Amino acid sequence: MDKLVVTGGQPLTGSLTVGGSKNTALPLMAASLLADGTTTLTNIPALRDVYTFSNVLRVSGASVSFDESAHQLTVDAGRIDHPEAPYDLVKKMRASFYMLGALIGRCGEARVSLPGGCAWGPRPVDLHLEGMKAFGASIELDQGYVVADAPGGRLDGGTFRMEPSSVGATINLLLGAVTARGGSRIENAAQEPDVVAFGEALRQMGAQIDGLGTRTIEIQGVEALEPITVRNTPDRIEMGTFMVAALLAGEPGVPFQVKNGHHPHLGAAFKKHLADTGAEIAYNDDVVTLTPPEQIRPVSIATATYPGFPTDLQAQWGVLMATADGTARITDTIYDDRFKHIPELQRMGLDAQVSGATATIHGPTDFQAATVMSTDLRASVSLVLAGMIAEGTTEVLRVYHLDRGYEALEQKLQNAGIDIRREQYDEFAEPEEVAERTA
């Protein structure tokens, strides 16, 4: 198993470059199944989730090839003859559940395992299933699998209101509805840029969709979609992570650049709160220039659906607030139990308390190196960020979580001046002192 070894105290210098969005790449891959032919996706990051989902597509009959160096992925969906997504693959990542909508949209039927993914909090698929029923699918559960069928091979269409709004359910319902016999309406739909970029790609394939980026999306089903070549959007969460890293580990008063992102996708809340820390921030096309202040100001946040503060950036924000002079509160209104990184950060010196969906963080903290363990994707990068500014050498274990969403993170950070390397370790090896005593 891999770990990242980070020796703190080296400042970030130069720039960091944002890669393609994981949260848009996976829906685009699912959408490729809707077209009889070869779809080409560019700016696709070389991530564990992309490889996993490629295998999910192959099970259905698709041919998938990925040029990592060119970040180009092609999907030949000319033969989709096995409308199933098996447990051994779906358990590795929740986004595999997009196969439900993709297979219904292409084949009129699907057998998809209930999903797995990060080890935090319940993220039920009830909205996905109820929405499919509202659009005309019959749904049954069979030994951990969702078995769905659209009578006559296509959904009828219908209206479904999501409570609460859900990115995943919005994407799944779009996948199923674009080839329905009639019209469909998604109310309280997700407005996230990932959904909009995905929906725009569906329109390029021939789908008839109105209302992307609003709370109400209207879809008129078409007979079939056409394969396309489309460029994936930049990863807004990686961009936000790098911006937080710049304020954490950059030199006060020295500008640092984050390149190749699309800053409007960050949302107004994140940009406002980042400015409230006292940092100087200049936005210019695909480059953001950040100048860290001498002292970070404490800024409390509450996560919300777009354009609110992204839940996928709250763990990173917690590390930044640990360096602030004062107390800040972080409330996650999207998911329960998303503070499993807090005990690991406390081992590095964090002064924080968690009560329900709120973490209260008292700064400033002088982080001390420790061996810590990743529990999910965004928690893992928060531990790396803490290690960058900690005294001593920190080991971040189980970085397979991080590899699901950050491509070559250690290489990017090395190029920006951080002392970080990847090493292998034995998860179940006895500590040396124990081995010596038992020899």
Determine whether the annotation assigns residue 334 to a binding site: yes
Q: Residue 272: CB partners within 8 Å, gap ≥ 6? A: none
| List 41, 64, 118, 420, catalytic entry | 118
Determine whether the annotation assigns residue 172 to a binding site: no
Report which residue type is found at 54: S
* Closest of 2, 53, 3, 11 to residue 32, by C-alpha: 53
Give me the helix-helix angle, 377-389 and 314-322, nearest 10°.
Answer: 20
Determine whether the annotation assigns residue 337 to a binding site: no
Contact between 157 and 129 under an 8 Å Cβ cutoff? The reply is: no
Determine whether the annotation assigns residue 22 to a binding site: yes
Determine whether the annotation assigns residue 312 to a binding site: yes
Q: Is 118 among the catalytic positions?
A: yes
* Closest of 244, 278, 243 to residue 259, by C-alpha: 243
The 8-class DSSP code of residue 34 comes to: G
Structure tokens at 42: 């560019």
Determine whether the annotation assigns residue 284 to a binding site: no
Determine whether the annotation assigns residue 124 to a binding site: yes
Structure tokens at 373: 């363990």
> Would you list the DSSP string of 357-415?
TEEEEE-----B--EEE--SHHHHHHHHHHHHHSBSEEEEE-TTTGGGT-TTHHHHHHH
Can the peptide bond before residue 307 be classed as cis, meaning omega within 30 degrees of 0? yes
Determine whether the annotation assigns residue 123 to a binding site: yes
Determine whether the annotation assigns residue 23 to a binding site: yes
Contact between 417 and 250 under an 8 Å Cβ cutoff? The reply is: no
Determine whether the annotation assigns residue 49 to a binding site: no
Residues in the annotated binding site for UDP-N-acetyl-alpha-D-glucosamine = 94, 123-127, 312, 334
For the annotated binding site, the residues are 22-23, 94, 123-127, 312, 334
Q: Which residues are annotated as a binding site for phosphoenolpyruvate?
A: 22-23
Catalytic residues: 118
